[in-house]
Structure 1
Amino acid sequence: MKSTVRLGFNSFFSVIFLCIFNFSFSQEEKLVKSYTDYHKTAREIVYLHLNKSTYIKGEDIGFTAYVLDKRNKKPSIYTSNLYVVIEDSNNTIVKQKLVRVKDGVASNIFEVDSSFSSGTYNIKAYTNWMLNFNEKNYYSESIQIIDLENNVKKSTALDEEDIDAQFLPESGHLLHNVTNVVGVTIKDPNGYGIPNAKGEVIDSNKNTITTFATNQFGIGNFQLMPKIGNTYSVKIKTESKDYEASLNQKIEQKGIILSLNKLKDKIYISLTTNNETFNTIKNQRYTLMIHNGVSYNLIDVYFTDNTVITSVLDKNTTSPGINIVTLLNAEDKPIAERLFFNHHGINVLKSSTINTSKTKDSVTFNINFKYLDPSLKNSFSVSVLPQDTKSYNRENNIISSTYLEPYVKGVIEQPKYYFTDTNQKKEYELDNLLITQGWSSYNWDDIFKGAPKLSYEFEQGITVKANAAPNSNGTNDQLMYSLNNEGFMISEVNPKDSYYWIYGLYPEDNTTIKMSKITEADGLKPASMYVQFFPSTIPQLNSDDSDLNFIEEKTLKLKRNNYTKNNFLKSSKNLQELDTVTVVSSPILEKRLKQHELSTDRFGRVTVVDEQDENNLIMLTDYIDQRIKSERIRTQNSNDSSFAIGRFQINYFLDDVLLTDPTILEGIFLADIESIEFNRFGIGDGYRSPNGFVKIYTKKLPSTRYDKKTTKAYEFPLTFSADKKFYIPKYKLYQNDFFKNYGVIDWKTNLTTNKNGTVTFKIAKPKVPVSIYIEGIANDGSLVAEDKKISLD
């Protein structure tokens, strides 16, 4: 059962103070069940902090991804696979990669290489799980690329006859003979709002009914009491030209409109009907549902004696962030919707102090967050740019991407504006924006279907599925596999489906997985099987939304004649050419030269297996037993030649892969081995081999004497992108306009606080004043998004 309010009203302008009691109407129970079934499935949202928004060809695009649980805004514990793609203006994918998410955070880079030319690109990030839902839980934002060698300036002149003026009733429709609030958006052909436009609403008698003005984003509103039989037009005056447009809204003779006003800590929700409608809906039940995808409240209302009903909510009792007010009729069909934003309860942290200390060559920043709990996991990323930069024109920050964009349908210009130094003016402007947004991103047709169909799974690494063919005894052999030099692991056949399943693999770049079957008769044999990988490709994000494109007049003024690629120089890797050495063939000399070559940068004794060794000792284990005694490597039982697990204290490596079970060496012929390193003290292997190790290296080509291979390698069709170092360009000049406007100073990722709540990082000492752009999260759902100008004098 869900609680609700069901009250009548005895005055013309009545106020409902919320009270709660049970109801048992089957229709409302069906509504509640559909709603809870639809929303009980966890959702994720993702945000990318980019190091800037305008890039010069040759630079790196640095990004840190924050993947959050949509319900509580804490780091997601479900997904470790994140897809990041860059598309051009034709929606063609230019770059894409799979990155690994740990504790809700992932960092990586894209190189702005020859794949790019001057223009606007969209960078998007999403998880596989997000593809189950129609809401915009993924990340999408435009970036600008400039090729200094081919920076053809495109004309951005606007067609002055073509503006997009829309007049959007707060409740979704105009109702005859009552006061309606109408939102206004006036945009240029590129989708940007036209600021400071003036408007007059004119009736069919050429009388001015009301006026309005737009803000810097081309948004405004006005009140209108429309009459059926009258027509309305709007005269618009911009800084460059005058226009006239139709109101373009049907006036309905009957209906109910929904409106909302905020006053201090109260929210007033009004339902208004007209006299033509009142007698037909008198005493009928209507329901207000106040919800946000996590919690909800139902209020039953009735028009009894009056045409206006107003409910009063305490702002502090509503959910932090977006709240959706939906009006449903007696059949529980949604007929109107209005969004409002509650800033109370959003956990946004501000830095308490920012201190710097300088040396001759570097600057150390100490940013303290007084109200952050340092015992919780946290992560921050910081972009450091010249203070006069024109290359950081981000539309979003982590607050707008988390609390606003996933809940609205339309494209918002500069959503981060409403969450940067928020004040009463910006709260009013945000509410004005929400009037123009109409219905939320939650589709009621989907909600009434109940729990969504889940066709896409949470992904945690790569899953491998391999077919298992029974051996001659009718049983399945064990499967041994290895990747990333992390040691061999054992997989058993799943008795339910007769497949080998290997979960949670994180191969990077060109990693292969090596597989062997452990057979009773022949020991280790290459595992020749039909192998499948999940995922094997990057799934496609089907999105109908479009981001605002960059406009040169709004974002940058870069003239090719002023700047060329010689303004910054990217260092090339040093190449070293080796001299050719010719040696007279001699088995003994060849062995010594080979041993000398393989001993370079090694701390143990390297021995090369030759033909004499192969003739004297057939099996690898016999050779190792003999050499261990001569090398005096300490074992748990020096008289025991067994390779049983736990019998030796030393570590064994096969082709640099640590063997968790050294008994697999028992099936290998010495003829397949090229060299062996014996290291008594484990020097060079860190803490893994305090008692020494043996490293065995196989021949690259199969032995002509024994045609025996023990593993078969399979390539992953899709791998994770390895962490790459962010490249900071080197510039010829650090005082010219090019560097001040478009230069990069540094990009720091995966920063955490110390026990005092202080984030510390060091950069090379800059030659100009800097701005820092810091964003991040903590495990209690706290968010950080700050832009700070720093004087280093």
Structure 2
Amino acid sequence: MKKLRPFLFLACLFMMGLISFDTPVQESVQIKNILGKLLLYSKNERPEKTYLLTDKDFYTNGETIWFKTYLVDGIDHKASNKSKVVHVELVGPDGQVVERRKQFAMGPGAEGEIRLDQELEQGEYTLRAYTKYMLNEDEPILFEKNIHIWMQSMTTSDFPENSQNLGNSKENGEGDASEQASRTIVRFFPEGGQLVYGMATKLGIEVTDGLGNGLAARGSILDGEGNIVTDFNSGEFGLGMVNLKPLPGKTYYARLNGESYNNEFELPKAINEGYLLNVTDRGEYILVQVATNLSDGLQGALLLGHLRGEVFLKQVVNGYGTKEHAVKIYPEQLKEGVAQFTLFTAKGEPVSERLFFVENPDQRASLSMDTDRKSYGTRDRIQIDLALADSEGNSLEGEFSMSVVSDNSLTSEYSRDIRSWLLLDSDVGATVPDAGYFFKDASQDRKQLLDALMLTHGWRRFEWQELLRQKTSKKLRFPPEKGITISGRTVSFHDNEKPRQSVASLTLMGEDLIYEKDSTDIDGRFSFGNFYFQDSLDAILQAESISKKPRSIDFILDSTHPMNLPAARKNSTKISKVVKPDNDYLLNAYKKKVADFKYDPKEVTQLDEVVVTEKKKTRKELINEAYNTMFSSSPFSRRVYRDSIFGGVSLSAMDLLARISGVWVTGTYPFQQIKLPGGPKSMNAGSIPGVMVDGVWSDITYLQGLRAIEVSFMDVNWADTTIFGSQGGAGVISIYTEKGLTFDEIPEKYPGIKDFKIPGFNKVREFYTPNYSLDKKEHEKPDYRSTLFWEPNIMLKKEGDNKLEFFTGDNPGRYLIKMEGLTNDGIPVSHTVEIEVDSSN
């Protein structure tokens, strides 16, 4: 027993360090500043999050994308009390916006649809959803979902003779992608951010190809003399972890096994003195340990933990010379999601941090979908009973959406869902293509992979240094939108650069006449709203000068869409991989198109073949024809036409250029600056692009003072500018003015009045669901729908009859009933059940 006493004494000392996270904090001025700034963030600067659910993942030209957008508070995931307007955009393979939808969120969500054009280009598209308020962040985390649209060419026969008509398989850039994919990249991430000589720590591992796809690999870590220190391996998504204790004076590198992995990869360099932060899941509790090898130890250091901005741990280390400190965290007292642990010195400097995913089954809700059968016949009735409950079985309420689709309409069973987005990706950025994998089971392997994911990613919502520098709340560039607003400036009719203070009024010509009147500020700024209406309304603006001397007034309207929004770029984030649907999906989509031609002549009319000998030229064709005979230029990287931009006549020329993917414009007119992509001599390296006006060299100051109304179109060249000589080293902007040529009728302007159309919120069609229990003529049409049922607004109640019913179609096979949504308390829920449709039933 005497031999055990020293051990027991040390054990008691260690356990004294394992104090709970509600211990009072001895707050210094620096600590009060840290806690105060985080409180300010959670109170006044709460972020917003959006999530977009589509009925399926694949589409062909002519089909409709049915979707539901959820808009929630970024901390508690309840309906946002800031914005009410959500912008949804379909971005094409070239980064240009193809379709826009403006939605009004009555609660946590809003339904929408995008009908795809028959002539839409085949390729990988991106759906994104955001609010203007989200754009106040330096690097906003916007929800993006990759979808692939396949082009099908109709023939005069019922079925195509070859698979090319079902969906073309050739994609641009396959060679470049193959070359990138052949690269292997290995990265190591020390836990807490540092490798310190003589102190053991964990390393997160990420092995990917050049496109960011995870690779399973094995390898070894070696020291500078070539001695193997330890082995490691990466599993699913290329993730793994390994322990390492760097020795003083040693350097380390990694080498992958196998002939295809013959590259060497350096590890982060270790430092002589520093801090470690270790977080370990011990099952019943989470153990958080901090340590240092500095002489004064951890005296006065703050260990802080927050989850989405809400503090759950604030503890000061007492005792001069203390080198180690530990604390237990009990997850049943926390919400689920990404927690950030940060160690601050006594001076308030963040020196070590670590993300950890908190799992708490008691915080979850369960959704049951009980079908009356598991197998059905064609055109058979399906009935579903729905129930929503907490972990103890108590009934809950919430708002949900449901899609019923063929199983080959989805890319993966582990694709991102509302849980993986709100609890994981929305706080750390897009992680892996199939983030739903981390939420499917409670296996130890899955938990270890999730922890490896946390080691290889950082907190994205704010940076501590920037947050601590703020003296007050951020000034918002984009206030939350509550409805439709009409804003702009009143200026001199003869000089649009001179503001005119005035009394402005707005009249909206809807079913009910809306009239508002107000004085502008000294800069002529006015704003009317917030309005709610669908489609478009005629609007009239009027203004009278408030000065004694009568003055003629003109209007410059603000754009109705956010400016300078970064273009969606392929492979810039790890979002859904492109997987081609099987031929059954494409064949059924084609058969549906044939049936629409035969049975829905009002919707689509198939014409006999005709020969077109001449057609009226579009304005764009007239412009190209006129200017191609007058000027010559190199092949342009991008071209923008003034009349292709909504409200373009009220913008500056720089504003037009900002709509080009890859081009960045900052500042306000007439002091705007421009950056072109690519090249060491680009604006990114401090160079100014060359400017040509109607084929003659000019300078950037001319472009800065140019209004969009003076421009016909502009070319931006950055890919190959060698024919321009040294003046084209940083890219070239070629401006083509109207030159007295007109291709449109320009409406006559009158001082003090402006009439225009203002777009409203998008009106959504009702999803067609046939009722085959009734005998109708329309049921003679074959039913080849891949989406059998879509209901974006399911309100589950604690009491009442939560039932749904719909009918199968004519395609046998496996179908998935997928339901996603939020409880009223902000708990995200996703659930899928499977049914079978058998034509023999």
Partner of 1:45: 49
| Alignment-derived partner of residue 129 in structure 2 | 125
Deviation readout 1:65-116 (Å, 9 max, x if unpaired): 0101122211223322111112234432222221222212111112232564
Partner of 1:286: 301
**Residue identity opposite 1:716 in structure 2:** K
Report the 3-state secondary structure (helix = DSSP H, G, I; strand = E; otherwise coil) of the residue aligned with 2:317.
strand
- Cα deviations across residues 459-503 of structure 1 (Å, max 9, x unaligned)? 12212469999xxxxxx9997945442x23454546999999642
SS of the aligned residue for 2:262 comes to strand
Aligned-residue offset at 1:559: 7.5
Match of 1:371 in 2: 389
**Which residue is 1:185 aligned to?**
206
Partner deviation per Cα, 1:429-482 (whole Å, 9 max, x = no partner): 21221011144532113311332221211112212469999xxxxxx9997945
2:91 is the alignment partner of 1:87: yes
Q: Is the CA contact 1:47–1:398 (under 8 Å) kept in the aligned structure 2?
A: yes
Q: Distance in 2 between matches of 1:513 and 1:164?
A: 56
- Could you say which residue in structure 1 is the equivalent of 2:103? 99
In 2: Cα distance, 1:359 partner to 1:226 partner:
65
Is 1:569 the counterpart of 2:593? The answer is: yes
Residue 804 of structure 2: aligned partner: 760
Q: Cα–Cα, structure 1 residues 205 and 733, in superposed 2: closer, same or farther, change >3 Å?
A: farther
Q: In structure 2, what is the equivalent of residue 683 of structure 1? A: none
Structure 1 residue aligned with 2:28, among 5, 25, 28? 25
CA shift in 2, pair 1:777/1:768, >3 Å: same
Matched-pair contact (CA < 8 Å) for 1:409–1:440: yes
1:488 corresponds to: 513
Q: Report the equivalent of 2:337.
A: 321
Tell me the SS of whatever aligns to 1:745: strand
- Name the SS for the 1:396 alignment partner: coil
| 2:80 is aligned with 1:35 | no
Deviation at 1:308, TM superposition (A): 2.9
Residue 779 in structure 1 maps to residue 800 in structure 2: no
Relative distance call for 1:439 and 1:780 in structure 2 (3 A) is closer
Which residue in the other structure is 1:606 paired with?
Answer: none
| Stretch of structure 1 that moved more, 353-362 or 256-265 | 353-362
1:46–1:125 Cα contact (<8 Å) kept: yes
Counterpart residue number, 1:299: 315
State the shift of 1:183 in Å. 0.7
Percentage of pairs with the same residue: 20
| 1:52, distance to aligned residue in structure 2 (A) | 1.8
Alignment of 1:360-759 (within 5 A): 361-371=379-389, 378-391=398-411, 395-409=415-429, 411-450=431-470, 451-464=473-486, 481-485=507-511, 487-491=512-516, 493=518, 502-513=528-539, 536-542=560-566, 546-548=572-574, 555-556=579-580, 566-569=590-593, 571=596, 574-575=601-602, 714-726=755-767, 743-753=786-796, 755-756=799-800, 758-759=802-803
Measured in 1, the distance between the counterparts of 2:286 and 2:69 equals: 35
User: What is the deviation of 1:54?
Assistant: 2.2
Q: Distance in 1 between matches of 2:105 and 2:586?
A: 41
- 1:144–1:550 contact (8 Å) kept in structure 2: no
Q: Which has the larger radius of gyration?
A: 1
1:168 Cα offset (Å): 1.0
Aligned partners of 1:442 and 1:115: how far apart in 2? 43
Q: Deviations over 1:321-351 (max 9, x none)?
A: 2211001112111111111122216744323
1:771–1:789 contact (8 Å) kept in structure 2: yes
Structure 1 position 256 matched with structure 2 position 275: yes
Instruction: Give how far 1:785 is off.
Output: 0.7
The alignment of Structure 1 onto Structure 2 pairs a total of residues equal to 623
Q: In 2 relative to 1, CA 306–535 (structure 1 residues): closer, same or farther, beyond 3 Å?
A: same
Matching residue of 1:225 = 245
More displaced, 491-500 or 242-251?
491-500
Report the residue type matching 2:763 in the other structure. Answer: A
Aligned-partner Cα distance in 2 for 1:732–1:158: 51
Quick one: which amino acid aligns to residue 538 of structure 2?
A: T
SS state of the match for residue 29, structure 1? helix
Residues 1:86 and 1:393: Cα distance change in structure 2 (over 3 Å): farther
2:260 maps to which of 233, 236, 241: 241
| TM-score, with length taken from structure 2 | 0.66
Partner of 1:586: none
State how far apart, in whole Å, the 1-side matches of 2:422 and 2:478 are: 22
Cα distance in structure 1, aligned partners of 2:181 and 2:821: 42
Q: 1:278-305, CA deviations, whole angstroms, 9 ceiling, x for partnerless residues? A: x2x2363211111121234321125756
CA contact (8 A) 2:337 2:359 kept: yes
Specify the alignment match of 2:546 in structure 1.
none
Rounded to whole Å, the distance in 2 between the matches of 1:25 and 1:568 is 70
Q: 1:136 to 1:160 in 2, by over 3 A?
A: closer
Deviation, structure 1 residue 118: 2.6
Aligned-pair Cα RMSD in Å: 4.2
One-letter amino acid matched to 1:264: G
Give, in whole Å, the separation in 2 of the partners of 1:168 and 1:734: 56
The code of the aligned residue for 1:778 comes to T
- Can you list the C-alpha shifts for 1:141-162, whole angstroms capped at 9, x where unaligned? 2222222454315455455751
Separation in 1 of the partners of 2:247 and 2:227?
Answer: 14
Q: For residue 28 of structure 1, give the secondary structure of its aligned residue in structure 2.
A: helix
Indicate the structure with greater helix content: 2
Distance 1:359 1:743, change over 3 A: closer
Q: Return the letter of the residue paired with 2:278.
A: S
Deviates most, 169-178 or 104-113: 104-113
Moved more, 539-548 or 99-108: 539-548
In the alignment, residue 574 of structure 1 is paired with which amino acid?
A: P
1:334 to 350, 356, 359: 350
Deviations 1:10-49 (A, max 9, x none): 9578633135335342222222222222332232111001
Structure 2 unaligned residues grouped into runs of 5+: 1-9, 154-167, 492-501, 544-551, 604-752, 771-777
Report how far residue 714 of structure 1 moved.
3.6
Asked if residue 790 in structure 1 is aligned to residue 812 in structure 2, the reply is no
What is residue 197 of structure 2 aligned with on the other side? 176
What amino acid is aligned across from residue 36 of structure 1 in structure 2? L
Contact 1:204 1:232 in 2 (8 A): yes
- Describe the shift of the 1:389–1:574 C-alpha distance in structure 2 as closer, same or farther (beyond 3 A): closer
TM-score normalised per structure 1: 0.69
Partner SS, residue 445 of structure 1: helix
Distance 1:322 1:426 in 2: 16
Shift of 1:417: 1.6
Deviations 1:626-682 (A, max 9, x none): xxxxxxxxxxxxxxxxxxxxxxxxxxxxxxxxxxxxxxxxxxxxxxxxxxxxxxxxx
- Range moving further from structure 2, 502-511 or 265-274: 502-511
2:76 aligns with: 72
Counterpart residue type for residue 401 of structure 1 = W
Matching residue of 1:206:
226
| 1:709-761 Cα distance to aligned partner (Å, 9 max, x none) | xxx994334432221345799999999xxx8xx94333222122363362414
Secondary structure, aligned partner of 1:404? helix
In structure 1, distance between residues paired with 2:503 and 2:298: 75
The letter for the 2-side match of 1:30 is N
CA distance in 1 between partners of 2:780 and 2:378 (Å): 20
CA separation of 1:734 and 1:414: change in aligned 2, threshold 3 A: farther
Following the alignment from structure 2 to structure 1, what is the Cα–Cα distance between the partners of residues 589 and 436?
A: 32
Cα pair 1:566 1:732 within 8 Å, conserved: no
C-alpha distance in 2, partners of 1:543/1:294?
A: 32
Task: Tell me if structure 1 keeps the 8 A contact 2:66–2:113.
Answer: yes
Letter in 2 for 1:719: G
CA offsets per residue over residues 150-202 of structure 1, 9 Å max, x none? Answer: 4315455455751111011112121101111011000112211013x112222
d(CA) in 2 for partners of 1:410, 1:25: 37
Deviation string 1:378-404 (CA, Å, 9 cap, x unpaired) is 322112112344545774211121111
Distance 1:296 1:502 in 2: 42
| Letter paired with 1:282 | G
Taking the aligned partners of 2:412 and 2:112, their CA distance within structure 1 comes to 19
Query: Within 1, Cα distance between the matches of 2:228 and 2:103?
Result: 58
What secondary structure sits across from 1:142 in the alignment?
A: strand
